[in-house]
Structure 1
Amino acid sequence: MAVATLASRVAGFLRILVLAAALGLGSRLLDTYNVANTLPNAVYELVVGGTMASIVVPLLTRAALDEPDGGVLYAQRLLSLIVYVLGAVTVLAIVVAPWLIDLYAPGFTAEQRELAIVFSRFFLPQILFYGLSATTSAILNTRGRFAAGAWAPLCNSVIVIAVGLTYLAVAGSTVAGGSAPGGPASAGPPAEGGGTGLSTGHLLLLGLGTTAGVVAQTVLVLWALSRSGFPVRLRLDPRGIGIRRIGKLGVWVLLAVVASQTLTAAATRAASWAGPGGVTAYQNASAVYLVPYAVIAVSVMTAILPRLSQYAARGERQRVTTGLSRAVRTALVVMAPIAAAFLLLGPHIATVLFAHGNSSAATVRVLGLVLAGFGLTLVPFTSYMILQRGLYALQDTRTSALITALVAAVGVAGCAAAGFLLPGEEIVIGIPVAYALAYTVGLNVTALVLRRRLGYLDGRRLLRTHVRVLVATAAGAGCAGLVVWAVNATTWAGAFLTVTGAVLAGAVGYLAAGRLMRLAELRHLLNLALPGLRTW
């Protein structure tokens, strides 16, 4: 599953890079596209996305254990309910698209706003397909099938990459104040801070092509579910799945999702005030920092949630604690050195990844600083999300929602402070710092709650692992820092050499220190990845 997720995330990276090169990192056009493409995800999460891990998977797991048909009828009715609800929500979202754009990007120009509204009406039908894909993947997961859900995003990214390359080939590139070679000025991506004009053909290519990727992703998981022997069909009457119970649990999940989306909206609004490229710098840096989280932590959480739900349903709370502790420690030994790499190499990584095509050098620089800031967020965010799965397994959506609201309140206050205290483009650099503070608060509160609910949280082992990982990470960072100091890069080639050398040196230092510190979790991961490595 981690391999599939890694492949999907690599393709997602390429998608980001291609779109940045084609539409112009730092341009108003790419900011407009990104905000419009954020809306389907935001609306989907607001309506049902948050219920997938906290309610749907535990309920599907219990139905599979308790129902005589293995939960097939229950799953069919649940899938039908999702389709009917999201179909109506999609239509409503298309109608209110102008208000959604104003909510997320008050700093847009009038031209950007109009184009964002048009884009959003191409993108908002994705809401229905996201719901279908997620519910289908949840049904597969409760039946022990994880591969299709992990591979499906790869289809999405491949299609959008093809769309971006086609746009780049057809629209060409621009120079400041000029037009695309071989076409009118409106055909190509604008110069930094310029307009957002698009021809009808290019608008259709970007709009329909982007949504086609989500449709392909959904088709793949539906096909996999059908191949598994599950009868895929919609039920005209979705009653019989405990809608009242879902609604009762969902009230608190809705609070949690509203809080989470409020934080996202606050961050996007703050970034929109940072000028051209601000939204893209924030979103692309966020996408980079979430890659290791998705590859490692999401794979771990997807695998353990059905198991934790089974333990909780049987009253085996000690096994819930053991599973959570193992998940946190496993993720930590990977995330900590990556977080240090972001802090140390953020600007160099941004140069290597984004200094291509129509990208603005100033926006690349800001993006690198934002990525470095996200290095502070990675570890507390990952541990917080894993521990939240413990509350989901216990079906304690109320406590989870209240903690999420607290996290959002701290984060929103931090984003507001960044907008108020920092000048211009520096506003966006304050956003990851606000996130780091918010998730650190959330992590500590969640740990305290789980300790009271479960009796203990394996605190000594967790503390011992954290101390050892900190020492090993410091050793690796020291080795990497020597490479950064020695190369002192100012060009793209120099940045590439710096990142490559620093990562290799840092990895050697981290592994050597981990061995000296007898870091058992690291040894276990290495033995899994390299079975022949027995010296550890």
Structure 2
Amino acid sequence: MSTVQPDDEPNRVAHDAQDDPASLDAPAAGDAAPSDAAPGAVAGRATPASGGLLRSGMVVSAMTMLSRVLGLARDVTIAALFGAGSGADAFFVAFKIPNFLRRLFAEGAFNQAFVPVLSEYASRRAREEVRELLDAVAGSLAVVLALMTALAIVLAPWLALIFAPGFARDPDKLALTAEMLRLTFPYLLLISLTAFSGSVLNTWNRFAVPAFTPVLLNLALIGAAVALTPWMSVPSMALAWGVLIAGAAQLAFQVPFLARLGLLPRPWPNFRHPGVRRILWLMAPALFGVSVSQINLLLDTVLASLLADGSVSWLYYSDRLVELPLGVFGVALGTVILPALSRRHAERSAEHFAQMLDWALRAVLLLGLPAALALEVLAEPLLVSLFHYGAMTDRDIAMAAMSLRAYALGLVAFMLIKVLAPGYFARQDTATPVKIGVVAMIANMILNLALILPLAHAGLALATALSAFLNAGLLARGLRRRGVLAFQPGWGRFALQLLGGCTLMTLALWWFAPDWQVWLEWGVWRRAGTLAALVTGGAGVYFAWLAATGVRVRHFKLRS
């Protein structure tokens, strides 16, 4: 496989400005004083310094891995305390609504529209113009989100009915969902401002801080579940309070890092600012672009509320396991590649733009394929080891495994969307992804209706996975037609290397993994030890094959 390692452009700042994951608050060498200039600032510009995509991706992956591991600990705690009953169902819906909007607006449409515009300002405008943009965007975003939050609090009972119509059969469950929603919806305001701060830090190659921030959500929910549950008349209400606390903590955590860069905004709404108007123009179609998979997941929740009790929770627990590799690999790659692609587009470097997309596709397949196969083979052992405690039953494990396998089929597609959509957004093209998103969403709705009767909740998961492949395929075809996605040499050999490694790993896991019914009889430490041995062994077989066939780390080094 050929090495993709383009030379630095002539005007690149001489030093990297990457965060060290072991020292989140250490400024990069050569940075100017925070009150004086942003990192990499040259001759009045606020230009971010460039760095290695592999290193940046590893930083984000490491922080995301920590967050996902704590997220699993959070879900283990929730499963043990609340199982898959009415209280858990109510909380998952009440949290999913603002969390869905957070992914749709903050990390979806807003992030994909804001980062390219901010990168353009940072590359071509004076530092003072960058600060004016940040002030206007922060103020405008805060005003819109505050109004949305106030409206949602007033309309909470109707929102609960819209997003979980099946709960109407149980008035107490519906009322609990609405009460929780009044606590969880302000999270949207807080986490969206956190995402705004994270987008700024990512643009300045400070990837570790935003990637670490979700850890605080998991710590807050674990702490609330353990500490507040005994004091609540309705135990699951402790989780809703945990969400609110987490939102405030995450925003407060990022503020000092923005201040150190001299980029802490003074929020003042200004919808007439040219940058704000351009972001809004780009956001409108982007709402249906990269966030289509999230819309599909929300549709799953709506339909699952009409199925048997526990269906919402089964989908949630299985989705959480798919989110682990998706977040660690897919989201990490999408996070680091968007600012890099945006800079390449601003610099009109088409060749390097194409090399970055090709690099991202190889990285997705290298990590996504074995992860998806491992989830397929180890579905029940993973669920038993993580969630089969307290209120979680054997039936819950069997049901969640069905939807986990269905979701896992689409893992690679979910990851491909994360790296292909930035290929459009970096070029400030939001019209094409919205057209593709609408097609994929319609396909998902049709597949939901076709598969829900024979497969129940697992049919909803399978429909989401199939529509994700359609979405990813159409995104790739569009980039190819525009000449933006150009496959680099070496794909044939790389495909054979992946095929051999995945085959050997799958056979090893299938051969050595005990029947999942046996896992039910084991204690927590034996489960954890056996699972760790299987995962480590499977990964060892896979990467040993890759190493033996010539894949090297240097093949994935690429400058941003």
Same fold per superposition (TM over 0.5): yes
Q: Which moved more, 1:350-359 or 1:142-151?
A: 142-151
CA distance in 2 between partners of 1:455 and 1:59 (Å)? 20
TM-superposed deviation, 1:409? 1.7
Whether the aligned pair in 2 keeps the contact of 1:105 and 1:272 (CA below 8 Å) is yes
Judged with a 3 Å threshold, the aligned counterparts in structure 2 of structure 1 residues 74 and 39 are, in CA distance, closer, same or farther, namely: same
Letter in 2 for 1:50: G
Question: 1:52 touches 1:138 (CA, 8 Å); kept in 2?
Answer: no
Q: 1:510 aligns to what? A: 542
Aligned ranges 1:212-231 → 2 under 5 Å:
212-231=245-264
Note closer, same or farther for the CA distance 1:257–1:102 as it changes in structure 2 (3 Å cut).
farther
Cα pair 1:355 1:492 within 8 Å, conserved: no
Give the counterpart of 1:433 among 462, 479, 490: 462
Q: Give, in angstroms, the shift of residue 266 of structure 1.
A: 1.8
- Deviation per CA, 1:83-103: give whole Å up to 9, x if none: 011111111111222222122
Question: Which residue of structure 1 lines up, in the alignment, with residue 323 of structure 2?
Answer: 290
Aligned to 1:174: none
- Give the counterpart of 1:77 among 136, 142, 155: 136
Map 1:47-126; keep pairs closer than 5 Å. Answer: 47-69=105-127, 71-108=130-167, 109-126=170-187
The equivalent residue for 1:483 is 512
Whether the 8 Å contact between 2:108 and 2:291 is mirrored in structure 1 is no
Aligned to 1:350: 383
Greater share of helix: 1
Report the secondary structure of 1:394's partner residue: coil
SS of aligned partner of 1:239: coil
Give the partner amino acid of 1:458. F
- Aligned pairs for 1:416-495 (under 5 A) are 416-422=449-455, 427-454=456-483, 456-458=485-487, 461-484=490-513, 489-493=518-522
Contact map agreement 1:309 1:393 (CA 8 A) in 2: yes
TM-aligned CA deviation for residue 205 of structure 1: 3.5
Cα distance, 1:75 vs. partner? Answer: 1.2
| 1:500 and 2:559 are equivalent in the alignment | no
Per the TM alignment, residue 261 of structure 1 is displaced from its structure 2 partner at its CA by 5.0
Q: Which of 180, 187, 199 is the equivalent residue of 2:233?
A: 199
Does residue 376 of the first structure (1) align with residue 409 of the second (2)?
Answer: yes
Once residues 377 and 261 of structure 1 are traced to their aligned partners in structure 2, the CA distance between those partners, rounded to angstroms, is 13
Equivalent-residue separation in structure 2 for 1:62 and 1:254 (angstroms)? 21
Q: CA deviation at 1:498?
A: 4.9
- Is the CA contact 2:140–2:271 (under 8 Å) kept in the aligned structure 1? yes
Tell me the residue number matched to 1:407: 440
Change (3 A) 1:462 1:393: farther
Within 1, Cα distance between the matches of 2:421 and 2:333? 13
Q: Deviations over 1:143-181 (max 9, x none)?
A: 22122111111112111111111245x27xxxxxxxxxx
Q: CA deviation at 1:203?
A: 6.3
Q: Name the CA distance, whole Å, in 1 between partners of 2:276 and 2:369.
A: 41
**Aligned equivalent of 1:33:** 91
Distance 1:431 1:299, change over 3 A: same
1:266, 1:274 → 2: CA distance? 13
Higher relative contact order (CA 8 A, sep 6+): 2
Note closer, same or farther for the CA distance 1:123–1:382 as it changes in structure 2 (3 Å cut). same
Whether the 8 Å contact between 1:472 and 1:517 is mirrored in structure 2 is no
Q: 2:265 maps to which residue?
A: 232
The structural deviation recorded for 1:459 is 6.2
Further displaced range: 364-373 or 33-42: 364-373
Q: State the Cα distance separating 1:475 from its structure 2 match.
A: 0.8
Note if contact 1:489-1:495 (Cα within 8 Å) is conserved in structure 2. Answer: no
Q: For residues 367-421 of structure 1, what are the alpha-carbon distances to aligned partners after superposition, in whole Å with 9 as ceiling and x for unaligned?
A: 1222222221111221222111111111110101111222222222222222233
Residues 378 and 226 of structure 1: CA distance in aligned 2, closer, same or farther (over 3 Å): same
Residue of 217, 227, 230 corresponding to 1:156 = 217
Question: Post-superposition shift, 1:430?
Answer: 1.8
Task: Give the CA deviation at 1:256.
Answer: 3.3
> Helix, strand or coil for the counterpart of 1:441?
helix
Is 2:226 aligned against 1:165? yes
Give the Cα separation in 1 of the matches to 2:105 and 2:485: 34
Give SS of 1:375's match.
helix
Deviation at 1:141, TM superposition (A): 1.3
Task: Give deviations 1:225-266, integer Å, cap 9, x for gaps.
Answer: 123222431125453243433333222113437855542232
Q: Which amino acid aligns with 1:63?
A: Y
Q: Which is further off, 99-108 or 13-22?
A: 99-108
The one-letter code sitting in structure 2 at the alignment partner of 1:139 is: V
Q: 1:307 aligns with which of 333, 340, 350?
A: 340
Asked if 1 retains the 8 angstrom alpha-carbon contact of 2:135 and 2:266, the reply is yes
Q: For the residues of structure 2 that align with 1:400 and 1:237, how far apart are their CA atoms?
A: 28
Give distance in 1, aligned partners of 2:279 and 2:219: 36
Structure 1 SS opposite 2:433: helix
CA distance in 2, matches of 1:502, 1:261: 31
Residue from 180, 192, 196 that aligns with 1:135: 196
What amino acid is the match of 2:308?
A: G
Paired with 2:324 and 2:114, the residues of 1 have a C-alpha distance of 25
Question: What is the identity percentage for the equivalent residue pairs of Structure 1 and Structure 2?
Answer: 26
Q: Is the 8 A contact 1:477 1:506 kept in 2?
A: yes
Tell me, which stretches of 5 or more residues in structure 2 are unaligned?
A: 1-58
Cα root mean square deviation, aligned: 2.4
Secondary structure of the equivalent of 1:273? coil
Residue 482 (structure 1) shift: 1.0
TM-score (norm 1): 0.86
CA contact (8 A) 2:133 2:275 kept: no
Within 2, Cα distance between the matches of 1:312 and 1:263? 31
Report the Cα offset of residue 49 of structure 1.
Answer: 4.2
Which amino acid in the other structure matches residue 512 of structure 1? A
Change (3 A) 1:372 1:495: farther
> Could you tell me whether the CA contact under 8 Å between 2:509 and 2:538 is conserved in 1?
yes
Structure 1 stretches lacking a partner, 5+ long: 172-197, 529-536
Alpha-carbon offset, residue 135 of structure 1: 0.4
* Deviations, residues 279-320 of structure 1 (Å, cap 9, x unaligned): 111012111111112112222221121111111122212211
Question: What letter is aligned with 2:454?
Answer: L
Cα contact 2:290–2:418 (8 A) shared by 1: no
After TM superposition, the score normalised by the length of structure 2 is 0.82
Aligned length: 493
